[in-house]
Structure 1
């Protein structure tokens, strides 16, 4: 068993890369005010041509909090955000949380039906949404999905018809939708109009509201799909979030002089908490990038003198292999934190040797454990960084156990169990799933298979729940199988992950056609692209007469994987 211990991880405090002063901030709103005072003149966010200091960021967040309060948001209300990385995302999210709301980030890869499902099940009262992103109108797709859910195909009808009624007929609890742009449809509000609605609220009122929030209050609900295919919301508190990412910033060595390119999506803990929250604790400069594009990333790193670049291994591999890499000055880059997939030793060596990155670390986490479980330490050997995800962070324990939960010795594979302060308060309104995930004595069953070495370093070797990772995004076969099963020509389907040179892994679907069907692989893939997030779409479809099943009727995926080993 691996135990995280504070004693071996103490270092300088504050802006030199050590611990932040947590006594000054036990909640996100207090952290925002503290950073606005502590790092007042330091550049906080660079988003395109917009540059603001920490003092200016604090003022914008308080204005957003005032607007949330003026529009009826109270402590504990759920407020959702469905938008790519941007300054507006940061301000809207922190503003909502500062007003006492529980943040519900939505995956920007979601289709309208997927977003509407999470909005409805979370009971979100307010939604911040982008306009058009990557050629898709999120507003239009949400209108269609909510309209169909409300029995009005096309979703053109709807509008505020009374107290508690919102602009989307299928989402009665959603009272307002705010579009993060200068234009909005008739029943929605613009970002500018929303902010203006809070101007009559005194600053003291905003501060009083923030004071009502304590460390045990929920700060966010991160919805993550399980093997049942039904998204589950992991509930995390302010205290858990701040303690975890103060530790993350300390172990990584984040400093106030750092300039952090945040490519990891804000809807994920890696982007929001290891990005925005960690930067707030140290006064580092945030440079949000809405979608990963290697040319844009290279340009940003050079122009903004980026020093910190976390992300999945595919991101760093793309930078290293880009033919125009040498035309950009990447000399400021000093810290890389990666994970979410196997990290080749060669990648660690190239980052250090070719780019001169002084610190390369790997980590492992999941939403149910606040996004962080283990992490390498500065000074670890490259072989340890490449072959493991490091040791338990301070305040947590990691155990590898057999099917009965009994601990296994070092070097023996088993299910990874985690216990400590990071473990979620449970799944939102889902007690049976919570009881299944967390044992009576507090161990979280991760569903991942791993091995601990003698030093307590964890190596993830497989996934009990069949999850695979597409370019840093978790893909769950059961969820994808349920969606593919809705196609009228699909009688049976099983999905597995197969190796892919660019994305690490991609989905392959084994499909049994309905009698008389002539649906092709291209037809099914094109249909899937319309119905589900892109990373979930299988890249390969193979038609079979029947799926291999055991005596209990379960698909034997091991037989399917045999023929796909080494495919790419």
Structure 2
């Protein structure tokens, strides 16, 4: 089935898979037909709120049914979705809201003990474009701009369904479907603009290569704000009629309980998720026999992990893949039947209709239908990322074997991956540089048995300062997303620099 747009896909899935289960959230079970109706109602509410074709609508919330309905509703109203990382603090979220000029924001009430509304209100002075904030909660601040989700949906009840349908039909395949903000080496996140046709084509390919099928029960632990959660999760399930079981927090006990209770068959996620599942002391108390498909990311995947998933859990298909937001989230992928060595040591081969090659410096270059339009309103950054011949410069260093399997070996950009989250030293260094007692700082990734890698900071104190490592870590926890917080801080008299003044990170790693 060829779909021109995400709204068209939602409607098609509602008709095609009608009575089949679409989303399971606790005791709530929503069929595909009902999901379609809920999405149309959310789209009507967006029209009532004045959302126009191409407006940016942001969402800042964990994996829930509300996220799915709100996001698909906004996109069905012709909006461009801007998902925000749930680990962002208020200032980080406000920065993305300001630069994307989002007009409407869906936000969770309280999540993991944090009031997202309170942190937003502390930072919202510089958001002139943000007209409405819809809170997934029964209570909202006494402010006309804030509405509960229930009240927001009710506002759309007077909108003619034909008008909602007409708006959805006016969305063209070449229109942007979302702007995924990704942190770069420059520190501030940049928004990769991806279209409807790119999204649908990529995740049709992903679903085909993974072997996702109708009735599969898919535990979506990967955050929806990330391409892996939203597109390899929600969009892929819509394409195939699989059941979405969103899980808001990564917790191994919950994962085990969900697999057993919901008879989960599909569990993508970072290697840390699968490792902690296998090593859990209570694992054998849960029936995990329904698991048949695991897809994991380009972080280092131990061969032993692939073998254990196959032998101890009987998972028939274990695949690895590599992608980045700038290429719609997918570039290479293993194929079913690949030997364990290929799955563990590489990220597979280029997906169909995609070219992957290495520059003289070993940088991975990608060209194909899924390369972003560019960074949102940032021509300079776009020109630096995509050359005149259409090659996307990924900033990752890799090796290609004779069969075209790609192995990522290093990152030109110094990025490291903390439990599945990309951490960028330049961004963390910028934040640490704001500390009044830090004169100079450099961050590198160091190995960690649980998270794969974590940050280590080398800091130079200001004269007279008695700053301790614990002080820096505590301050960081208040100022930045948890995965960015350095787990170790070493104080040094000065940082090693080369002739042009750049920090020699290799020397720091050598310590």
Q: Find 1:429's aligned residue among 373, 377, 388.
A: 377
What is the SS of the residue equivalent to 1:89? Answer: helix
Q: Is the 8 A contact 2:298 2:347 kept in 1?
A: no
Cα shift readout 1:155-198 (whole Å, capped 9, x = no counterpart): xxxxxxxxxxxxxxx21100000001222112210000000000
Partner of residue 357 from structure 2, selected from 391, 399, 411: 399
CA contact (8 A) 1:45 1:286 kept: yes
**Secondary structure of 1:198's partner?**
helix
Cα contact 1:340–1:469 (8 A) shared by 2: no
Instruction: Give the structure 2 partner of residue 263 of structure 1.
Output: 221
SS, match of residue 375 in structure 2 = coil
**In the alignment, what sits opposite 1:287?**
245
Q: How is 1:70-469 mapped onto 2 (pairs within 5 angstroms)?
A: 70-146=48-124, 150=125, 170-187=126-143, 188-403=146-361, 414-469=362-417
Structure 1 residue 374: deviation in Å? 0.2
Alignment of 1:16-55 (within 5 A): 21-22=1-2, 25-55=3-33
Q: Give 4+ residue runs of structure 1 displaced > 4 Å after superposition.
A: none
Aligned twin of 1:540? 488
On the 8 A contact 1:112/1:142 being kept in 2, the answer is yes
For 1:26 and 1:376, locate their aligned partners in 2 and report how far apart those are by CA, in whole Å. Answer: 27
Gaps of 5+ in 1: 1-20, 151-169, 404-413, 564-568
Aligned to 2:506: 558
User: How many correspondences in the alignment?
Assistant: 509
- For residues 298 and 235 of structure 2, the distance between their equivalents in structure 1, rounded to whole angstroms, comes to 20
Q: Is the 8 A contact 1:338 1:361 kept in 2?
A: yes
Deviations 1:488-528 (A, max 9, x none): 00000000000000000000000000000001000010000
Distance in 2 between residues matched to 1:402 and 1:511, nearest whole Å: 34
> How many angstroms apart in 1 are the aligned matches of 2:499 and 2:175?
47
Q: Which secondary structure does the structure 2 equivalent of 1:199 belong to?
A: helix
Q: Residue 437 of structure 1: CA displacement?
A: 0.2
What are the superposed Cα offsets for residues 352-396 of structure 1, whole Å, 9 maximum, x if unpaired?
A: 000000000000000000000000000111110000000000111
Task: Say if 1:416 and 1:445, in contact at 8 Å, map to a contact too.
Answer: yes
Cα distance, 1:78 vs structure 2: 0.1
How far did residue 231 of structure 1 move? 1.0
Distance 2:367 2:291 in 1: 34
For structure 2, list consecutive stretches of 5 or more residues without a partner in the other structure: none
TM-score under structure 2 normalisation?
0.99
Residue among 34, 39, 43 paired with 1:65: 43
Deviation string, structure 1 residues 307-337 (Cα, Å, up to 9, x no partner): 0000000000000000000000000000000
Aligned-pair CA distance for 1:145:
1.5
Residue 340 (structure 1) shift: 3.3
Structure 2 matches for 1:497-512, cutoff 5 A?
Answer: 497-512=445-460
Q: Which residue of 2 aligns with 1:524?
A: 472
Q: Secondary structure at the match of 1:255?
A: coil
State whether residues 102 and 221 of structure 1, in contact with CA within 8 Å, keep that contact through their aligned partners in structure 2: yes
Cα drift, residue 402 of structure 1: 1.2
* Equivalent position SS for 1:493: strand
Partners in 2 of 1:349 and 1:325 — Cα distance? 17
Q: 2:461 aligns with which of 503, 513, 526?
A: 513
Query: Per-residue CA shift, 1:50-84, capped at 9, x if unaligned?
Result: 10000000000000000000110011000000000
